[in-house]
């Protein structure tokens, strides 16, 4: 049974920065989240470079549902549920590959890589000619589209176009995806691991929590003789009305992940030359400020990354208190091979499953999950999301969103939970700024009354 919207609103008081941890552990809320958030939002599937050839496929999830992303012979990309129409078995158990068809290993129904049912064993004897193949294809996503090589899909035919959904986030995404003419490339292999916690802990941290780094990562930064100087704290957080969030340094510092393997003697590395070359190109394309953005981001609901630091990831929900991290190492397509190899090594040592930085974060999320699972009082108290409240008033010419005065702010988290609450409590598609502008009557698909940024 659906949870009363008024009850959910008391749990998520984003305006006053008071949020109940029940949203991270409650089974009913989780089931509603799968239906209201993951079944409607545009979700990241794969990048072009992961499925470059005709018939390439990649197995992923949309919320809790397994999905196959498939490149067809004509170069287009489609996606459908990886669940057989006969008894719901996965028709593809490989993580990725190249295939023109998928045969279910239960009774052998076979589908082409567009999802059409093409063969049923003993069809005539078993169904006596009554099985309509055309009505038994794998269930397709309702809409699929891409932005600068990133493919997204939604199960909701009513969802606004992807560009409207991304809204102002494209401004920040471009500063990462469009630095050089070749854009980005995902290196082969996905690092996957499980955390016993709630997926939103990862999403909200990557979207806006610069605050944790000084303490949580003190030992890993210390182990590599990295000191966080005052410049590391120069920057701002951007909270977008669409629920997407980001934060970035304005100091123009180099990638901490790449630098972490470098000891203080500052020896020259091949990446230095590439960084300098790239910066000159990026400044031409993006302007001097955006060319230097380094930080963290979350595209609502569960697609995160560290722009400028070689890592993108999906937080796949696996239950109220369990999620999988799927981590991708991302490089500049135009970078020399030596730099790509160095980036992969550095990213694995720092942000891989057992990476020195990553394991700091995982320990926090896992321990919080344990407390919420076992405790009663720990579930009942409200968590404090008040940092920077009422002070998101910074102007930065041309930079969209509500901007914080410093990089320490929980404005992004409040924006994330505001959007989450809208999805959870709206019967129709929640308000989306760009769609509202496009609608003839100016109201778009709004179902909430307060639209102001």
* Active-site amino acid positions: 107, 209, 212, 217, 361
Q: Does 84 interact with ligand FES (rule: CB under 6 A)? A: yes
Give the H or E element holding residue 224. Answer: none
Q: Does 116 interact with ligand FES (rule: CB under 6 A)? A: no
Instruction: Report the residue number, 136 or 146, with the smaller CB distance to ligand FES.
Output: 136
Residue pair 77/151 in contact (Cβ under 8 Å)? The answer is yes
Interacting residues with ligand FES between 364 and 383 (CB under 6 A):
none
Segment contacting ligand FES (CB under 6 A): 100-108, 167-175, 253-261, 365-373? 100-108
Q: Where are the alpha helices (DSSP H) in 213-305?
A: 213-216, 218-223, 256-259, 270-286
Question: Considering the complex, what minimum distance in angstroms separates the CB of residue 85 from ligand FES?
Answer: 8
- Nearest CA-CA partner of 165 in 64, 32, 308, 44: 44
What strands lie across the sheet with 56-62, from one edge to the other?
77-81, 65-71, 56-62, 96-98
Q: Does 109 interact with ligand FES (rule: CB under 6 A)? A: yes
Helix (H, G, I), strand (E, B) or coil at 211: coil
Residue of 106, 228, 280, 288 interacting with ligand FES (CB under 6 A): 106
107 binds, options Fe ion, ligand FES, none, Cβ within 5 to 8 A by partner type: ligand FES
Q: Does 9 interact with ligand FES (rule: CB under 6 A)? A: no
Helix (H, G, I), strand (E, B) or coil at 135: helix
Question: Considering the complex, what minimum distance in angstroms separates the CB of residue 31 from ligand FES?
Answer: 24
Residue of 86, 148, 379, 405 interacting with ligand FES (CB under 6 A): 86
Q: What is the rounded CA–CA span in Å between residue 184 and residue 282?
A: 13
87 class by beta-carbon count within 10 Å (0-12 exposed, 13-18 middle, 19+ buried): exposed
Residue pair 130/415 in contact (Cβ under 8 Å)? The answer is no
Helix (H, G, I), strand (E, B) or coil at 322: coil
Question: How many residues in the shown chain lie near Fe ion by CB under 5 A?
Answer: 1
Alpha carbon 137 to its chain centroid, in Å, reads 29
Q: Does 358 interact with Fe ion (rule: CB under 5 A)? A: no
Q: What is the rounded CA–CA span in Å between residue 261 and residue 169?
A: 31
Question: Considering the complex, what minimum distance in angstroms separates the CB of residue 34 from ligand FES?
Answer: 22
Phi, psi of 428 (to 5 degrees): -100, 180
Q: Does 428 interact with ligand FES (rule: CB under 6 A)? A: no
Residue of 100, 107, 285, 405 interacting with ligand FES (CB under 6 A): 107
Phi, psi of 366 (to 5 degrees): -65, -45
361 binds, options ligand FES, Fe ion, none, Cβ within 5 to 8 A by partner type: Fe ion
Residue of 361, 392, 410, 422 interacting with Fe ion (CB under 5 A): 361
Q: Does 31 interact with ligand FES (rule: CB under 6 A)? A: no
Segment contacting ligand FES (CB under 6 A): 101-109, 233-241, 247-255, 267-275? 101-109
Cross-strand partners of 43: 153
Give the H or E element holding residue 423. Answer: helix 411-425
Interacting residues with ligand FES between 301 and 360 (CB under 6 A):
none
Instruction: Report the residue number, 43 or 68, with the smaller CB distance to ligand FES.
Output: 68
Q: Does 204 interact with Fe ion (rule: CB under 5 A)? A: no
Q: What is the rounded CA–CA span in Å between residue 369 and residue 31?
A: 17
Residue pair 276/286 in contact (Cβ under 8 Å)? The answer is no
Segment contacting Fe ion (CB under 5 A): 231-239, 253-261, 322-330, 360-368? 360-368
Question: How many residues in the shown chain lie near ligand FES by CB under 6 A?
Answer: 9
**Interface positions with Fe ion (CB under 5 A):** 361
**Interface positions with ligand FES (CB under 6 A):** 84, 86-87, 89, 104, 106-109
């Amino acid at each position: 049974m659906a949870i009363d919207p008024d009850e959910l609103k008391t749990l998520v008081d984003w305006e006053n920065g008071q949020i109940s941890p029940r949203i991270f552990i409650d089974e009913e809320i989780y089931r509603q989240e799968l239906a209201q958030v993951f079944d409607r939002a545009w979700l990241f599937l794969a990048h072009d470079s992961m499925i470059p050839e005709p018939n390439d496929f990649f197995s992923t999830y949309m919320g809790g549902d397994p999905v196959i992303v498939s490149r067809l012979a004509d170069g287009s990309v489609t996606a459908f549920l990886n669940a057989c129409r006969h008894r719901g078995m996965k028709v593809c158990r490989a993580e990725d590959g190249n295939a023109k068809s998928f045969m279910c290993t239960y009774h052998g129904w076979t589908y082409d890589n567009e999802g059409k049912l093409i063969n049923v064993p003993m069809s005539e004897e078993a169904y006596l000619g009554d099985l309509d193949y055309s009505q038994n294809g794998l269930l397709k996503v309702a809409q699929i589209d891409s932005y600068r090589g990133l493919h997204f899909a939604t199960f909701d035919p009513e969802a606004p176009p992807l560009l409207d959904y991304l809204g102002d986030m494209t401004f920040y995404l471009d500063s990462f995806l469009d630095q050089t003419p070749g854009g980005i490339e995902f290196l082969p292999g996905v690092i996957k691991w499980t955390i016993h916690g709630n997926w939103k802990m990862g999403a909200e941290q990557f979207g806006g929590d610069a605050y944790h780094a000084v303490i949580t990562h003190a030992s890993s930064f210390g182990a590599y003789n990295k000191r966080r100087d005052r410049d590391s704290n120069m920057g701002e957080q951007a909270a977008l009305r669409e629920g997407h969030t980001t934060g970035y340094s304005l100091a123009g510092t180099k990638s901490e992940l790449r630098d972490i393997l470098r000891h203080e003697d500052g020896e020259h590395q091949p990446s230095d030359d590439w960084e300098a070359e790239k910066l000159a190109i990026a400044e031409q394309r993006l302007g001097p400020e955006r060319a230097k953005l380094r930080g963290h981001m979350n595209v609502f609901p569960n697609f995160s990354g560290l722009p400028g630091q070689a890592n993108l990831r999906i937080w796949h929900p696996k239950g109220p208190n369990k999620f999988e991290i799927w981590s991708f190492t991302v490089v500049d397509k135009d970078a020399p091979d030596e730099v790509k190899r160095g980036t992969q090594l550095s990213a694995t040592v720092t942000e891989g499953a057992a990476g020195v930085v990553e394991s700091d974060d995982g320990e926090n999320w896992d321990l919080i999950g344990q407390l919420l699972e076992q405790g009663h009082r720990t579930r009942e108290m409200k968590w404090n999301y008040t940092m920077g409240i009422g002070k998101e008033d910074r102007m930065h010419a041309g930079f969209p969103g509500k901007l914080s005065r410093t990089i320490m702010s929980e404005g992004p988290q409040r924006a994330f939970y505001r959007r989450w609450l809208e999805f959870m409590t709206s019967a129709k598609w929640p308000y989306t700024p760009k769609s509202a502008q496009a609608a003839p009557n100016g109201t778009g698909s709004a179902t909430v009354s307060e639209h102001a940024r």
